[in-house]
């Protein structure tokens, strides 16, 4: 860590040591699989709320959001504006539902409603989503720390992953939640420190940021026309609402936390606490991106190294210096997005404060990854291993499977992160992957929850159609122009929206048709 001072290294090491201590402390208290997955329902609401907030506030937010605002505008902030509405639906319907059902898995009730296929489908989608999420977060943290340490991105992911696996395996969900409480505070402080440093370094201060931002339409939330082919205000709002509904309603990371609370009311309180904390901090991260844009507009020479780095990566090792320089000056702000925060940290943040910022970036990644590891291990153990391989698991054996699967999912997440090296936009990549994997599950869940008459045939047919629709919207734009398959004109963020509605509406129509057919048949028999 030649680029870091001794005090920065000490701060980072103390932070990592504190996370390890939390895992060791809770390993002494945990004795059963119930404590590993639900903490025996003894976590206070405020701690669960901070934990959910920390899960939202990942390195995708810390690195990707400022990069998105720097390279474009505030269109993606509309995603955060959808959170209160999704939170209202969650506290009114989802939290009471899961507390009543009682099982720690978010997907076991789907088997009771539609059969084993529905449960398995939801579990597979969740695990794929988690791998995509953990991979993108591993990539985000490596992207930032590579600029600070000079180490390779793969080695950064490996070291960070080992630390996360250590305390997650030892302490279970209780260690995950309490480390996330610390991490929520650290990364919030880090965001505030960054924005204060950026504004203090801008000639003219905050007024210059506003002036430049308004001049270049950086505060634009997107068009308000009913156009679903572009990333308009309405497309992002609908996408955010459906994705946050999926998070609160079908994501094991969140559902599992509902069971760690002492009551339904406390679980609902934790949801609202996370909502009202995340929306303003999301605003701050978008503001950081705009402030950085204003800073580099006033100081264009300061961004030269970032331009050269990106140009070099695009052209490869065989490019000449002239080619790299020529491309560097042709790059647009959108091409530099995810590199901006790491560059500013390296060049502008003083010793001592840099250690705090690195700890904040680490915490942004570690909270979501540890949560994903624990949730994935829980789902695998209960919904796959116990369901299909050993119905009569002893608690000791179940705990052992939870340990092993936690480690395996951690290693798998690291592998996905390594495979993402070179992607253009961290936030866009995560949004696209999560939309594909999560789209069908929410529609199936809503069909089972709202329609009492929908049966197995209607559900499986609707799900198959919904999956095809999601794949068509997402993948058809990649087909050649002369393809026999028509290309979707919809924005790819519409995949989760259209897919969810397709499954729900087709299921309703099929169940109504079946109900009408049965009624007509019964009437005909009665007439005879």
Q: Tens of pLDDT along 213-252? A: 999 999 999 999 988 989 999 999 999 999 899 889 888 8
**What pLDDT is recorded for position 286?**
94
Angle, in degrees to the nearest 10, between helices 116-149 and 153-200: 70
Is residue 222 a contact partner of residue 232, using CB atoms and an 8 Å limit? yes
Pick from 244, 267, 242, 253: nearest CA to 100:
267
**What pLDDT is recorded for position 140?**
75
Name the DSSP letter for residue 388.
Answer: I
**What pLDDT is recorded for position 40?**
79
Classify residue 379 by burial, with Cβ atoms within 10 Å: 0-12, 13-18, 19+: buried
Q: Tens of pLDDT along 472-484? A: 888 788 777 777 8
Domain 6-527 belongs to what architecture? Up-down Bundle (1.20)
> Residues near 322 by Cβ (< 8 Å), separated by ≥ 6?
none
Name the DSSP letter for residue 493.
Answer: T
Q: How far apart are CA 477 and CA 167, in angstroms?
A: 43
Range of weakest confidence among 116-120, 333-337, 365-369, 517-521: 517-521
Q: Tens of pLDDT along 152-196? A: 888 888 888 888 888 888 888 888 888 888 888 888 888 888 899
**What pLDDT is recorded for position 345?**
80
pLDDT tops 90 at residue 352: no
Beta carbons within 10 angstroms of residue 528's beta carbon: 5
| Complete DSSP assignment for 436-491 | HHHHHHHHHHHHHHH-SS--HHHHHHHHHHHHHHHHHHHHGGGS-TT-SSPPP-S-
Q: How far apart are CA 162 and CA 140, in angstroms?
A: 17
Q: What is the chain's percent helix, strand, coil content, to nearest 5?
A: 80, 0, 20
pLDDT tops 70 at residue 436: no
Pick from 164, 193, 132, 176: nearest CA to 362:
164
Is residue 393 a contact partner of residue 386, using CB atoms and an 8 Å limit? yes
350 vs 514: which has the higher pLDDT: 350
393: three-class secondary structure by DSSP: coil
Is residue 138 a contact partner of residue 160, using CB atoms and an 8 Å limit? yes
**Percent of the chain residues topping a pLDDT of 90:** 27
pLDDT tops 60 at residue 426: no
Beta carbons within 10 angstroms of residue 155's beta carbon: 13
Q: Is the dihedral of CA 370, 373, 376, 381 positive or negative?
A: negative
Q: How far apart are CA 264 and CA 362, in angstroms?
A: 32
Q: Tens of pLDDT along 495-521? A: 888 988 999 999 999 988 877 766 666
Average pLDDT, the chain: 85
Q: How far apart are CA 427 and CA 140, in angstroms?
A: 9
2 pLDDT band, cuts 50/70/90, is very low
Q: How far apart are CA 54 and CA 366, in angstroms?
A: 9
Classify residue 214 by burial, with Cβ atoms within 10 Å: 0-12, 13-18, 19+: exposed
Q: Tens of pLDDT along 256-283? A: 999 999 999 999 999 999 999 999 999 9
pLDDT tops 70 at residue 432: no
Q: Which phi-psi region, left, alpha or beta, contains residue 320 (left: φ > 0; alpha: ψ -120 to 50)?
A: beta
Q: Which phi-psi region, left, alpha or beta, contains residue 32 (left: φ > 0; alpha: ψ -120 to 50)?
A: beta
Q: Tens of pLDDT along 371-381? A: 889 899 999 99
What mean pLDDT do residues 96-114 have?
Answer: 86
Is residue 444 a contact partner of residue 456, using CB atoms and an 8 Å limit? no
Q: Name the residue ranges covered by the structural domains of the chain.
A: 6-527
Name the DSSP letter for residue 73.
Answer: -
Output the six-digit token pair for 482: 């002369």
Is residue 198 a contact partner of residue 56, using CB atoms and an 8 Å limit? no
What mean pLDDT do residues 387-392 have?
Answer: 86
Q: Which phi-psi region, left, alpha or beta, contains residue 517 (left: φ > 0; alpha: ψ -120 to 50)?
A: alpha
318: three-class secondary structure by DSSP: coil
pLDDT tops 70 at residue 369: yes
**What pLDDT is recorded for position 1?**
41
Q: How far apart are CA 374 and CA 183, in angstroms?
A: 17
pLDDT tops 60 at residue 424: no
Q: How far apart are CA 133 and CA 173, in angstroms?
A: 18
Output the six-digit token pair for 524: 């005909």
pLDDT tops 60 at residue 427: no
**Percent of the chain residues topping a pLDDT of 70:** 93
Is residue 257 a contact partner of residue 176, using CB atoms and an 8 Å limit? no
């Amino acid at each position: 860590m030649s680029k870091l001072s001794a005090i920065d290294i000490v701060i980072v090491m103390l932070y990592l040591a504190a996370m390890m201590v939390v895992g060791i402390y809770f390993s002494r208290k945990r004795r059963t699989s119930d404590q590993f997955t639900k903490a025996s329902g003894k976590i206070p609401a405020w701690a669960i709320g901070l934990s959910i907030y920390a899960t939202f506030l990942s390195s995708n937010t810390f690195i990707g959001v400022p990069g998105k605002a720097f390279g474009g505008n505030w269109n993606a902030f509309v995603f955060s504006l959808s959170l209160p509405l999704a939170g209202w639906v969650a506290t009114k319907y989802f939290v009471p539902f899961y507390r009543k059902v009682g099982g720690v898995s978010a997907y076991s009730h789907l088997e009771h409603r539609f059969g084993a296929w529905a449960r398995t489908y939801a579990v597979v989608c969740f695990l794929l989503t988690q791998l995509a999420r953990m991979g993108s977060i591993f990539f985000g943290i490596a992207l930032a720390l590579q600029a600070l340490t000079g180490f390779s991105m793969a080695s950064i992911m490996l070291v960070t992953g080992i630390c996360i696996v250590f305390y997650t395996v030892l302490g279970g969900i209780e260690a995950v939640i309490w480390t996330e409480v610390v991490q929520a505070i650290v990364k919030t402080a880090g965001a505030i420190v960054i924005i204060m440093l950026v504004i203090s370094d801008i000639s003219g201060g905050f007024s210059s940021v506003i002036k430049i931002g308004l001049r270049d339409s950086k505060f634009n939330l997107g068009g308000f026309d009913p156009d679903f082919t572009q990333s308009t205000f309405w497309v992002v709002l609908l996408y955010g609402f459906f994705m946050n509904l999926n998070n609160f309603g079908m994501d094991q990371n969140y559902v599992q936390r509902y069971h760690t609370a002492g009551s339904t009311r406390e679980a609902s309180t934790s949801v609202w606490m996370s909502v009202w904390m995340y929306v303003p901090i999301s605003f701050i991260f978008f503001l950081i991106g705009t402030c950085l844009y204003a800073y580099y507009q006033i100081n264009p020479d300061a961004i030269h190294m970032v331009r050269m780095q990106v140009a070099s990566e695009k052209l490869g090792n065989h490019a000449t210096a002239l080619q790299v320089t020529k491309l560097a000056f042709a790059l647009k702000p959108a091409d530099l997005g995810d590199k901006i925060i790491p560059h500013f940290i390296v060049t502008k943040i003083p010793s001592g404060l840099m250690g705090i910022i690195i700890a904040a970036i680490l915490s942004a990644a570690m909270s979501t990854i540890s949560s994903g590891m624990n949730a994935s291990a829980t789902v695998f153990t209960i919904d796959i291993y116990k369901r299909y391989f050993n119905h009569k698991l002893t608690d000791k054996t179940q705990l052992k499977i939870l340990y092993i699967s936690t480690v395996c999912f951690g290693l798998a997440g690291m592998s996905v992160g390594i495979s993402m090296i070179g992607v253009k936009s961290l936030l866009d990549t995560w949004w696209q992957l999560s939309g594909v994997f999560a789209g069908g599950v929410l529609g199936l869940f809503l069909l089972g929850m709202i329609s009492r008459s929908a049966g197995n045939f209607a559900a499986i047919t609707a799900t198959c159609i919904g999956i095809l629709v999601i794949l068509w919207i997402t993948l058809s734009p990649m087909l050649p122009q002369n393809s026999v398959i028509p290309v979707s004109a919809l924005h790819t963020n519409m995949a989760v929206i259209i897919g969810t509605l397709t499954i729900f509406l087709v299921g309703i129509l099929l169940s109504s048709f079946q109900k009408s057919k049965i009624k007509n048949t019964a009437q005909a028999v009665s007439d005879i």
